[in-house]
Structure 1
């Protein structure tokens, strides 16, 4: 790091030691107008931790500035994920692009194929593009294009009449990023081979890399493709972020601030980690903190539920000896819903994946798993069980669930390849789910209205169950009624019975009258309205608070003399009694739960509690699902009076031929045996 002869006053001095002397020399010559010191970051060698020395040297360049405008135009043809990278990080980098230095002064690397005269009196530069061209000029065909062998190729300078000068290869090698940017054509030896293949497959459909490759690989690919072919190098690109430790720091082998992937594979499986990563913001350019708890949640919320659905089907199908087949024309309401819901899943995941929106597709899949397990199977158990627990299950239920599970494995296989392969093989005996075709919506019937109505009922059920929980009313305790009031409520008659069963109420009341139960309030968006309305925005807020506004169309309201567009306000449905009433997400309907508990309802609830306890006892005794039993129940006399009034229901639910009722304590005791 010392100056050489051209820098005579400081020859032999370390460049950093010479700095103050050079500054003083400039001051002495009156060339310094002002001298300030600044503290700033400075690069250091990662091995020796000594400051890096900057040295200006001659380089070979790609004249990017000459084609910069065209590169910006070509960038508009690329689908960037996340979208803001196109005109943000990458677009701004292109706008400020400078000529690209592609040469490096080292031994290892791809030699730059340029030969120059060693005599400046007879200048000549030759650039070679093929082995044939080299052989034609040098008389030999190189077998190794690396240094030092390629440097041995020399010849007399054709432009030197004296014959004294020689053509020699320049000493530089190519920047490795130039090689990376050449990948699309270099990998197939284009243009010397595979010309048809290359022209058919270029540009690439899709690439993925870290978001900072906007200044690296993405950039060099784009520059060379634009310069050589006037086209983008890729059509779609996902920019991913960085995986961080749970505390937000970088992953570190030294700090051991993360769980080893192999440990995760052993405990949770590779599918859990794969889903965790594909469903997060990391595939949208964001940084993601990895946590064991998050991966555990994937196992609990995604893997186990879908495996339980598969196990449920195989258990009852095997018990009944039912050989399921693809069936899409069941007339049962729940089957029709599940088939139409699966069609929507195909449509929505296809749209998301076509847009390279992996978290969006994952959200669709997870939402469907909830509908499958926590609605269809829960509400269909009796159909698989058979009449009062005996006989065969409903063939339509078996075939519908088989059809949906088979299609689901094809949809979810890119996200959960291992578990979907296992389920697909168990269902179909096929070679591999990964060799099957992507499902098409036309495979299933369409019934968008039914899906909308059923999903609204599902939301109403979840809302009612939250009201139950807030009122400390257990689900097995039946209630008198639930009311759904508001927009579209009267359209739910066909599915109202399902709501009654799910939330355990005797009656579902549907009403279009919402005024007595809730108030629709206007909430203006100050961030958007402030710049547009200025001081007038305060009048808008005051009028909205008083309820002095009116709706003029589906997407517009008028308040304080101003017309607000849909993006400038929210309409919030606020219940008059929050203890018994809650609004749905769309703010167009409310759920009203009657929370009064009568002695008759309490007795029915006790019977349901007893059913659960007997079912748990069956499970603890390892009984088959078809085994019938004899049971003895010891309970307090008051409780026995309550539950004996529902004896027929209890017998049917637990597959009991007879129950012996014995007086006991407040805590029930149950004994049973198979019959």
Structure 2
């Protein structure tokens, strides 16, 4: 144990404590120490190891650690295994970039799948090292040694086990439907992946005429922002309940919905038109039209089913935008696909997964679909079918990893986990979860669960958990494998070197149990969200040893960012309910995102990302954590800048300085904390000690209440406000002179005991937010002045509320003190009187009897705290004597009414009793004698101004009004000056880094003789406060040998010039 540094340096403290934790194996000792406690289980949402930690990640991880430390210090045996999400598309994309691979199809020719997979492993291992280092630097205590990794074979086996179970329950199957595809990554995406990638995109917005078949000059008007899809148009959808109008424009007739008619015609530049017919949408069903590209695309010539190129009905049609007639292409939209299926229309999807047209569209063969968006409108215009062409900025789904715009294409090869049969159970179990905030579960997540589509889990990629489905080459029989053991048993030949990744698993062939044909694996890997979604089971190796799982499931707590509502939260719930019949977590805190200092999204391309490592090095991990946890509610967005964190550091500086104050004097008196001594003597203690102990109980009550509700921002603010306001600003000034009493003085010992108790309690609570700060002060302060401390603060128990020391009336009394202090300070400022300078008298006019009684109970404290010679509680009648009321005529009212007599009225007002006049006007009218004639005045005829008499100043508070008598006497001036001088000498002592008990030789030279005389009046006070063994005062004309002093400094105190010389004795 060493003396505390004079200043708090976060980064230095943190590196010191990191070494201490490592050397003493503090984390493992703490885990062992809590082994006998009740279980509390945390499930780590695994970070993806394809980049480094930024401050957004670090905010969530700070929340995790605060919760884990809180539960640990409450005595729980906390399960806190780490985890890492190490597979998936993001990793592949970075490897492709690093290796110069332009697209997925080049992987095998460039290096082969085995080398590509090895590169993926190397990359995630590289990032994993950084994540572990940054997490430890943040102070996040997890079990990193046994952390689960989704790339491991034993983990992947759990994914296979789940899929086999899902297959047996009829939840796994191949589907033919429209799926979102990333043309760059050449793979399908799930609905929750799509939801994460919406960006603003500028697209064409075109209005097009489709000519009705067999009807002269009649057209159906449609609208689209994806012109390329018109190539595959097969139907036009209308709403059966909407009204549609036939509008005559020149010699043509256009059909569109009535509600949007004016909007569409205005865009088309049509001013003269006539509505000639109106019918319901249900009357239009079956109308045939001519496809605009029938001549260019054979498909449209070869197909003429009943509803091909016809009007159909659909309730997905809206009148929010467009024309009310929806261009419908079953090959390119989920709703369109369903409509086509309903009306028996075959799907036409002439686009590859790379987003390029096939040979079925000769004019665009090999063209990227979005490149044709500019060409299609021109061709329609040439055909005389384009009504209007503009651009629109709208939200469009992009790949959440490579930012490529997605396309929706019909695909029969993808595999899905079905919602039918499980949706109701998911909704039910979600309602049993404790969500923070509540709306995150009932609203955002609840809506997603209730309306989610089947989950597309297949990905046409390489680095991931292989889809464990083998299909017979001959009879198409399917087998789902649930484990490595099962695969080995059913394999025709099983290689010696094998792992559950491509390409090794692709080489395993099975014999078909139905026809003895050869079975090959479907070449997909699974959605990486399925990997992380199995963490509830795979993280504890459930298949290898089932004994641990029942002790943990369902887990008590998880927390991740709000976007995981459609990611990890969903995959956890789905897999947990299907596999175990329960939601896998009891409580969840949904985190808000972190933005840059201007409120913008952080991104590498913008260069505004703040990396966690850089933030820790610049501002320190503890101030960073406390900023993140106290700044705003966990679920709200937060703007981040290192500059803002420095404000939090200043509040920790205050806390540190309180410890320094305590250390200084407790060390001098060889103090040892005695809890029994404190509580047994508290009934006879001074009011301020009783109050502070009561405040500790109130703060603990609030703190625990907030922490139990995961409201970290409120819990941390309660602590910070208590430390900076109650402890530092109120209590310490009241007791700072008491520390100079004899060491065995009972009052002094009580002060030390209460101060130590308060610091210990506050520090243990603060430790969950600032663990380095907590450990440093535990080691170098608490352990020095107390014989009853554990090896680490993390083994200490979180303090509980002791209701027997809670005194609400006393706390209410000190609320009055705080208000009076603030009001008196404000009143002083009005007269330019410094707080250090004493005043003659302060008077308080209470707003209630309670306020009066409480102020009187504080009389002796208020004398010192308010720095006043006298303090008195007075009534409002007496206070009225301090006020002179002045009357001001309102000429704008008086002039028009009294005209030539206005001056006489004003003259009469100067002689009237202003107080009586005001009272009369408050009742209505006032009568005034003007040259013997009585006139009536109205309330708006005059205004009043209150002026304080003498040297008084005034300020209001919520408990009443404070009057300060600022009359200056020679004695008051002298004491004020000496206090100013004392402050300057104390600053110089601090600059010389002198110990508190070191004595001085002190010389003061003043620029005027009056100041010498004033200072001499309180020379004993000055010598005592500055620890001056010898002290000399000199006037302006006297000579001083300044070279004989160790430290000399010039000061200015208002107009006074002061020179101070000092030498330690």
TM tier relative to shorter chain: 0.7 to 0.9
Question: Which one of 823, 826, 844 corresponds to residue 483 of structure 1?
Answer: 844
| 3-state SS in 2 of match to 1:506 | strand
Asked if the contact 1:65/1:97 (under 8 Å) is kept, the reply is: no
| 3-state SS in 1 of match to 2:858 | helix
Question: Which one of 635, 641, 660 corresponds to residue 311 of structure 1?
Answer: 660
Whole-Å separation in 2 of the counterparts to 1:633 and 1:15? 87
Whole-Å separation in 2 of the counterparts to 1:46 and 1:621? 59
Distance 1:141 1:401, change over 3 A: farther
1:523 alignment partner in structure 2: none
Question: Which one of 727, 750, 759 corresponds to residue 396 of structure 1?
Answer: 750
2:997 alignment partner in structure 1: 626
State yes or no: 1:436 paired with 2:796. Answer: yes
Distance 1:393 1:21, change over 3 A: closer
Distance 1:464 1:663, change over 3 A: same
TM-score scaled to structure 1, two decimals?
A: 0.78
Whole-Å separation in 2 of the counterparts to 1:338 and 1:461? 17
Distance 1:617 1:428, change over 3 A: closer
2:868 alignment partner in structure 1: 505
State yes or no: 1:80 paired with 2:435. Answer: yes
Whole-Å separation in 2 of the counterparts to 1:356 and 1:306? 24
The Cα of 1:376 is off from its aligned counterpart by 1.7
For the pair shown, which has the larger CA radius of gyration, 1 or 2? 2
Asked if the contact 2:492/2:511 (under 8 Å) is kept, the reply is: no
Query: Counterparts of 1:11-50 in structure 2 under 5 Å?
Result: 12-16=365-369, 38-40=391-393
Distance 1:474 1:140, change over 3 A: same
Asked if the contact 1:123/1:159 (under 8 Å) is kept, the reply is: no
The Cα of 1:213 is off from its aligned counterpart by 1.5
TM-score scaled to structure 2, two decimals?
A: 0.51
| 3-state SS in 2 of match to 1:87 | helix
Asked if the contact 1:3/1:10 (under 8 Å) is kept, the reply is: no
Question: How many residues matched?
Answer: 607
Question: Which one of 289, 293, 297 corresponds to residue 639 of structure 2?
Answer: 289
State yes or no: 1:219 paired with 2:580. Answer: no
Question: Which one of 349, 364, 370 corresponds to residue 718 of structure 2?
Answer: 364
The Cα of 1:379 is off from its aligned counterpart by 1.5
| 3-state SS in 2 of match to 1:88 | helix
Asked if the contact 1:406/1:427 (under 8 Å) is kept, the reply is: no
Asked if the contact 2:954/2:964 (under 8 Å) is kept, the reply is: no
Whole-Å separation in 2 of the counterparts to 1:289 and 1:342? 32
Question: Which one of 685, 696, 701 corresponds to residue 347 of structure 1?
Answer: 701
Question: Which one of 732, 737, 746 corresponds to residue 382 of structure 1?
Answer: 737
2:100 alignment partner in structure 1: none
1:559 alignment partner in structure 2: none
The Cα of 1:197 is off from its aligned counterpart by 2.2
| 3-state SS in 2 of match to 1:89 | helix
Asked if the contact 2:493/2:509 (under 8 Å) is kept, the reply is: no
2:453 alignment partner in structure 1: 98
Query: Counterparts of 1:313-328 in structure 2 under 5 Å?
Result: 313-326=662-675, 327-328=677-678
Whole-Å separation in 2 of the counterparts to 1:182 and 1:381? 59
Distance 1:183 1:10, change over 3 A: farther
State yes or no: 1:270 paired with 2:632. Answer: no
The Cα of 1:424 is off from its aligned counterpart by 0.2
Give CA deviations for 1:94-129 in whole Å, capped at 9, x if unaligned.
33322211112233322222333434xx56333333
Distance 1:645 1:222, change over 3 A: same
State yes or no: 1:450 paired with 2:810. Answer: yes
Whole-Å separation in 1 of the counterparts to 2:631 and 2:581? 35
Give CA deviations for 1:246-297 in whole Å, capped at 9, x if unaligned.
233344556654776555544543212121112122x523332222321221
State yes or no: 1:229 paired with 2:580. Answer: yes
Whole-Å separation in 1 of the counterparts to 2:382 and 2:514? 49
State yes or no: 1:593 paired with 2:945. Answer: no
Distance 1:173 1:482, change over 3 A: same
2:772 alignment partner in structure 1: 418
1:667 alignment partner in structure 2: 1057
The Cα of 1:611 is off from its aligned counterpart by 3.5
The Cα of 1:305 is off from its aligned counterpart by 1.2
Structure 2: unaligned runs, 5 residues or longer: 1-354, 784-789, 881-920, 924-944, 1038-1055
Whole-Å separation in 2 of the counterparts to 1:618 and 1:13? 82
| 3-state SS in 1 of match to 2:597 | coil
Distance 1:614 1:24, change over 3 A: closer
The Cα of 1:363 is off from its aligned counterpart by 0.2
Asked if the contact 2:707/2:715 (under 8 Å) is kept, the reply is: yes
Give CA deviations for 1:500-552 in whole Å, capped at 9, x if unaligned.
322212233346869979xxxxxxxxxxxxxxxxxxxxxxxxxxxx999xxxx
Asked if the contact 1:325/1:402 (under 8 Å) is kept, the reply is: no
1:128 alignment partner in structure 2: 481
Whole-Å separation in 2 of the counterparts to 1:311 and 1:483? 36
Higher relative contact order (CA 8 A, sep 6+): 2
Asked if the contact 2:816/2:854 (under 8 Å) is kept, the reply is: no
Whole-Å separation in 1 of the counterparts to 2:562 and 2:402? 30
Give CA deviations for 1:197-226 in whole Å, capped at 9, x if unaligned.
222212222222221121211222222223
1:528 alignment partner in structure 2: none
| 3-state SS in 1 of match to 2:643 | helix
